[in-house]
Amino acid sequence: MLDTLDRPLRDLRISVTDRCNMRCRYCMPRETFGAAYDFLPRSELLSFEEIARIVSVLAAQGVRKVRLTGGEPLLRRGLCDLVETLARIDGIEDIAMTTNGLLLARHAQALADSGLTRVTVSLDAIDPATLRRIADAPVSPARIIAGIEAATVAGLHPVKVNMVVRRDVNDGEVIGMARRFRQRPQILRFIEYMDVGMTNGWRHDQVVPAAEILARISAHWPLEPLPPAVKGEVATRYRYADGGGEIGVIHAVTAPFCHGCTRARLSADGRLYTCLFAGTGHDLRTVLRSGAPDARLAAAIAGIWAARSDRYSAERPKPPGARSGPGARPPGDPHPARVEMSYIGG
């Protein structure tokens, strides 16, 4: 399957729950996702059998990678059962998961035994006070690092550690994070702060460009570029010249990679989104629960992908210092309303 820009569909990201045990301000700010927020009832979530059916249909059409996301995916009970089912689908070569790591130490080995191949852990600061402010929850870096180490021991390697960098929020943690993961088997990746969803109050002046991040690190430990590990990889790779390991940077704002995007996202309630910044999704749950055969499901997905023309990051307005408060977008924004990242995963 090819979209209007000749991009194939190779990678499916599956949100298994819209719930999370953290309230990171760039993703699920507590002002919106507080005690009164109406999360999806269980009856509206796709069952594991329904998820597996979609993956099976897509594997026959070229999808090779699956990533489980949330919310926080480890809050979904029985996740190992889903992993084991997906691992048996012909054509699926890679099953990964993105997690905040709080429950990872408890589940890492079982996930690996079930067929999970890789894991990415979000960790935005190594300083406890800074992390608690970002997460808006009583979390500790030590607990997340314990999950990272457990995943490494379980063979889910290389474990990738993602840090979203925001100016005047946690950019002072860049060197501390780099120091913590130097000489380690994990790969630390720095992500430019993105304007995902409508509730995080994104401001252009809070973006720390990847070039600046690299310059800061290089001033301490010189870096050398590395080629992409796989075709279409979103992170630009570097290694420490002294052999201290590898890092990556994701230029989500300053150097968009829309031209090579081969990803679709499936929400926990069965809506297919063709872009992280999309405003609306396409209802697959109704097709699934109507008794339609696989051929109809496949045709529906093929039609959605064939019409895809998303390239938001390449079209994003870029006036230096542009500001936008919660719910407001810069003039000329090509997607004036967008789905929240916690609903469809990162």
Within 10 Å of residue 284's Cβ, how many Cβ atoms? 24
Segments of 51-132 assigned E as strands: 65-69, 94-99, 118-122
Within 10 Å of residue 44's Cβ, how many Cβ atoms? 12
pLDDT tens, position by position, for the chain (346 residues)?
999 999 999 999 999 999 999 999 888 999 999 999 999 999 999 999 999 999 999 999 999 999 999 999 999 999 999 999 999 999 999 999 999 999 999 999 999 999 999 999 999 999 999 999 999 999 999 999 999 999 999 999 899 999 999 999 999 999 999 999 999 999 999 999 988 888 878 888 999 999 999 999 999 999 999 998 887 788 999 999 999 999 999 998 998 889 999 999 999 999 999 999 898 999 999 999 999 999 999 999 999 999 999 998 888 876 444 334 333 344 455 555 788 888 887 6
**51 and 163 Cβ atoms separated by less than 8 Å:** no
What is the rounded distance in angstroms from the CA atom of residue 123 to the CA atom of residue 22? 12
Segments of 143-206 assigned E as strands: 160-165, 187-192
Position 315 scores a pLDDT of 86
What end-to-end distance do the CA atoms of the chain give, in Å? 23
For the chain, give every domain's residue range: 11-344
Closest by CA to 148, choosing from 117, 122, 178, 183, is: 122
Position 159 scores a pLDDT of 98
- Joined tokens for residue 285: 């749950």
What is the rounded distance in angstroms from the CA atom of residue 67 to the CA atom of residue 175? 29
CATH 3.10.180.10 describes domain 11-344: no
What φ, ψ does residue 46 adopt, rounded to 5°?
-65, 140
Position 342 scores a pLDDT of 83
Segments of 193-268 assigned E as strands: 223-225, 236-240, 246-250, 263-266
DSSP 8-state code for residue 148: H
Position 275 scores a pLDDT of 92
Residue with tokens 């697959």: 284
Position 345 scores a pLDDT of 79
Torsion of CA 314, 315, 321, 326, to 10 degrees: -110
Position 197 scores a pLDDT of 80
3-class SS of residue 214: helix
Report the predicted TM-score, pTM, of the whole model to 2 decimal places.
0.93
